[in-house]
Amino acid sequence: MIKSNRLSTLMLAVLLSVVSFFTWANDNEIENLKQRLKILEQQQITDKQYESKVYATFRPSLTYADQREPTTDVTDFLSHAGLYLEHEVAKGWSALAHGEWSIDIANNGNFGKARRAYVGFNSPYGRVAIGKQRPVQYLLIAEYVDIFNHANAPFAYDNFSPFFVDNLVSYKQQWQNVSLLASAQFNGDEGSNSDDMLNVGLSYDHNNLHVAATYLSQKIPLAATSNEVGHQSKSVALSAANSFANGVYLAGAWQQRKLALLNGVETTQSTVDVSLAYQMSKANKLKLGYFELDDDTASDNNQSYQGFNATLEHKLSKDFQIHIELLTKTFDMSDDYTALSVGFKYNFSKAW
């Protein structure tokens, strides 16, 4: 749109010059062309300086689950709504704000639990933001295997790594195909008096290929005394994903966490998530996932399990779909879990 406006502006400027050259052109015609030129120039500036978007996604489901005893319940797979604003403040610099809140369809339909709430800026030197945001660990590792409709996906990653972090300061810089991301949590009322979480990562993205590695360090406050640090964890993670020409998408994520408990005990936990999607037809997509959590904690506290997910999606339009999902988990030290869900997804987005 901006390119078209520029072309129209140039054509009108040339036409004005020609019209002005010939003495037979009357003053009214010249004035009309000048007014039109002024409008196009102003529209050009407006299009360049502002970007706004309001959006929402509604994801109710009916779920039958069986672990020890069967239950049937209306569930919600992370319905939410949000607003994104960006405004150019100088050449190459733009201010941005993003707010996003959950919609709890499964219970009272409550609206208000914040998922994202931050303000920042883009510049030639990188992007900086402060507030509640996605951490590097999710953006570079989990996001590429998080293709399912279920609220607990990715199903192994979900246990040991963050999805949204408050009191976060983030930075991103990109050089062609390489991106550097860093974030740190500063929560002075809880845990450490300095940083409470550090998360850095590098990624390489070219065409449909994504490869990334991250490091995450967390200081976990004591439940009883929030201003004292309890457990501490350090994690490393790798991810890779690619979309193929035959309609197949394949992604994998691995992470290992070393957890130092307050009583001096140390445990090692690792997760693997593999996701595959195949576009069967224009309206139908098949998604398959395998996941594994390995926990070396002793006895009944061990959380180790393996499982898979199979989802069939049918799109009635680009904004509305129905899906059926089968999820199983086989625990080493607990009863196995099976769930069958039938759900809807409706997406709305309006940009201006």
Lowest mean pLDDT among 36-45, 79-88, 276-285: 36-45
Average pLDDT over residues 122-145: 97
The pLDDT value given to residue 50: 66
State pLDDT tens for residues 103-115.
Answer: 989 888 888 789 9
Residue 37 · residue 16 · CB < 8 Å:
yes
Q: What length does the chain have?
A: 352
Average pLDDT over residues 205-218: 96
What pTM was computed for the model?
0.82
State pLDDT tens for residues 182-202.
Answer: 999 998 666 555 568 999 999
State pLDDT tens for residues 38-57.
Answer: 555 555 444 446 689 999 99
Residue 273 pLDDT > 80: yes
Instruction: Measure the N-to-C terminal CA separation of the chain; round to a whole number of Å.
Output: 13
Average pLDDT over residues 340-352: 95
Residue 278 pLDDT > 90: yes
Angle, helix 2-21 to helix 27-49, in steps of 10 degrees? 160
For residue 250, list its beta bridge partners: 242, 276
| β-pair type (80-90, 50-58) | antiparallel
State pLDDT tens for residues 18-28.
Answer: 444 444 445 55
